Amino acid sequence: MRVPVAITPSVLNADLADLAGEVARIPSADAVHVDVMDSHFVPNLTLGLPVITSLRRHTSLPLDIHLMIEDADRWAPAYAEAGCESVTFHVEATRAPIRLARELHALGARASMALRPATPIEPYAELLGELDQVLLMTVEPGFGGQSFLDLVLPKIARTREIVRRSGQQIAIQVDGGVSLETIERCASAGADVFVAGTAVFGASDPDAMVSALRERAAGSAALRAEG
């Protein structure tokens, strides 16, 4: 079963001095993607729990938290406790991913596992039943505005096949370099949730761009399903 196409704009490329105002510019988004970086797992440093707790009070959109931090086992549950609907941890920074996924579920959040471009999906195939979503990075994590890595497309397709064989409804999210020029390739490969930062917040009308991205992805996903 395929989940519907969803667009989750990343605020990494928004005006962080007016985060609530920027989120208000994307009312039709399916969720707000928030990148949390600790300058250890990745070289950049961004937002943390206090800012996200504040943002939670200023938007009714679901918050899709992407933790690019060390020791995710320790810190991830706090984001679920803060009311974030989805929490993504990197498998490369997690000691006990199954336990963490179950803890997030117990706290009422969706559990998502992220993989760097070079991390293969196959060793983690048996874990997917514990997850609601798999995030496949299509750039190296840590900075916005990078160019899309086409080399990840075969991994998206392999992940889609693993999910299909499992018979479970698990979303496949892609993050990095997603734009009108690349989203169709991602959807054709099997992705159904798309993180777009520069493409959305760099547009004159961010919400119109959300709609345009959704339409383009949905068209490609439909063609793939027919094929």
Binding residues for substrate: 10, 66, 142-145, 175-177, 197-198
What whole-number distance in Å separates Cα of residue 29 and Cα of residue 186? 18
Catalytic residue among 30, 38, 132, 175: 175
How does strand 86-90 pair with strand 133-137? unpaired
Residues flagged as binding site for a divalent metal cation: 33, 35, 66, 175
Contact 63, 85 (CB under 8 A): yes
Select from 143, 137, 115 the least CA-distant residue to 13: 143
Give the whole-angstrom CA distance, residue 111 versus residue 191. 17
Q: Is 132 labeled as catalytic in the residue annotation?
A: no
Q: Considering 35, 38, 64, 192, which one is annotated as catalytic? A: 35
**Tell me, what DSSP letter sits at residue 32?**
E
Rounded to an integer, what distance in angstroms lies between the CA atom of residue 157 and that of residue 159?
Answer: 5
Q: Is 38 a catalytic residue?
A: no
Binding-site residues from annotation? 10, 33, 35, 66, 142-145, 175-177, 197-198
Catalytic residues: 35, 175
